[in-house]
């Protein structure tokens, strides 16, 4: 991923393969807050690695909200597919892209 950039007219994030619009950014933030959505699902859907999601969250959340999110994510095994219980074999819900 290249650096996160704000366009003067609208919110846009440039990745190596695509451009994220405001709706995409909202969806990534929503997925990042969800306990059962792994970072691998965000990478699959939006081509953002965990470190890029962290950058995005730091940029678009209030500092206190970012700290709360990081603290929450550090204690979640479900945010990484490799750390999940083997019985959880789903990757995404049927409604997800």
| Rounded Cα gap, residues 91 and 64, in angstroms | 30
Mean pLDDT of all residues belonging to the chain:
78
C-alpha separations of 55 from 29, 50, 88, 92 in Å:
11, 9, 28, 23
Q: Calculate the CA 48 to chain-centre distance.
A: 7
E strands, 6-82, in order: 13-14, 19-20
85 pLDDT more than 70? no
53-62 per-position pLDDT tens digit: 999 999 999 9
2-38 per-position pLDDT tens digit: 455 544 444 555 655 568 899 999 999 999 999 888 8
Question: What backbone phi and psi angles, to 5 degrees, belong to 66?
Answer: -65, -45
pLDDT score at 19? 81
Q: pTM for this structure?
A: 0.68
Label residue 94 exposed, middle or buried (CB < 10 Å: 0-12, 13-18, 19+): exposed
């Amino acid at each position: 991923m290249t650096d996160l950039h704000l366009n003067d007219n609208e919110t846009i994030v440039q990745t190596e393969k695509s451009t994220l619009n405001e709706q995409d950014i909202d969806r990534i933030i929503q997925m990042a807050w969800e306990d059962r959505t792994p970072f691998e699902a965000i990478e699959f859907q939006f081509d953002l690695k965990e470190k890029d999601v962290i950058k995005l969250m730091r940029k678009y959340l209030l500092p206190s909200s970012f700290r709360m999110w990081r603290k929450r994510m550090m204690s979640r095994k479900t945010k990484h597919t490799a750390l999940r219980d083997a019985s959880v074999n789903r990757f995404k819900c049927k409604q997800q892209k």
